[in-house]
Amino acid sequence: MPELASGGYGDARVQDLLDMRTGVRFREDYTDPDAEFLQLDIASGWRERGAQQSPDSICGLLKSLAKEREHGEFFEYRSVDTDMLAWVCERACGERLPVLLSREIWSRLGAEQDASVTLDGVGTALVDGGMSATLRDMGRFAQMYLQGGYFNGQQIVPKAFVEACGRGSTPAFEVLYGHYVAHYPEAAYSNQCWVLDSGRGIYSARGVFGQSIYWDPAAEVAIVKFSSWPDFINPEWTVNTFRACAAVVEELQRG
């Protein structure tokens, strides 16, 4: 991608984006008005843009981010890595991401309802957040991953990619996320998923305000939970959510 050659993402690998191991400077602080996260809100149109604030698009922001360390060194959650991954997919396939998701995922799941996606002022999808779907359709997505990417009589996502979501060893994970490691010693991050137990392959997808999907492939259980918490992130409630999911799995296994 020549437009990124001089930017922070210029020499990042796709796997660095998937595992959130890029070295770009981006502070994922939802309350700091000086953090780069505020720029993402402005670029996507979620927050009003002031006269002196820039950039005015998601891709413009991605091009502007500087590199502060080598890519691949250690994990740090950054929403923009997901947005950069979406841009790579668009460039590789020659289609806008909503079109790709509709054709390659949503329609093949047999979704009951259309999903909606936030677009910035030039039509670029915000994919780190801003997508809305029904609980039942997210259940279809969760079941597809539970079955190794297979659903509705077809392989939708490569099996090897899905299986890697439940494995991983993430450098320095415990430094930034010690409150999770205290409860999940084998925690990691892989392919855009939070690994809870890499030995057993238990993993999750998480969103702000309490959205979550929990997978236990060995138990053949997937759980989807929608929420509207008052806080962006609440570590205690998150851990309790996963404890509740584990309790559901245990009860189901008792028969």
pLDDT tens-digit profile, the chain (255 residues): 899 999 999 999 999 999 999 999 999 988 888 889 988 999 998 888 776 667 889 999 999 999 999 999 888 899 999 999 999 999 999 999 999 999 999 999 999 999 999 999 999 999 999 899 999 999 999 999 999 999 999 999 999 999 999 998 766 566 556 666 777 877 889 999 999 998 899 999 999 899 999 999 999 999 999 999 999 888 889 999 999 999 999 999 997
Domains and CATH numbers, the chain: 1-78 (1.20.58.710), 95-158 (no CATH), 165-255 (3.40.710.10)
Digit-coded pLDDT (tens) for 150-179:
999 999 999 999 999 999 876 656 655 666
The DSSP secondary structure of 89-114, one letter per residue, reads HHHHHTS-HHHHHIIIIIHHHT-SS-
**How much is the pLDDT for 24?**
97
**How much is the pLDDT for 73?**
85
Tell me how far CA of residue 171 lies from CA of 24, 134, 160, 177, in angstroms.
Answer: 16, 35, 22, 11
Q: pTM of the prediction?
A: 0.92
The Cα–Cα gap between 198 and 168 comes to: 6
Q: Which residues on adjacent β-strands are paired with residue 1?
A: none
The Cα–Cα gap between 157 and 143 comes to: 12
Digit-coded pLDDT (tens) for 105-157:
999 999 999 999 999 999 999 999 989 999 999 999 999 999 999 999 999 99
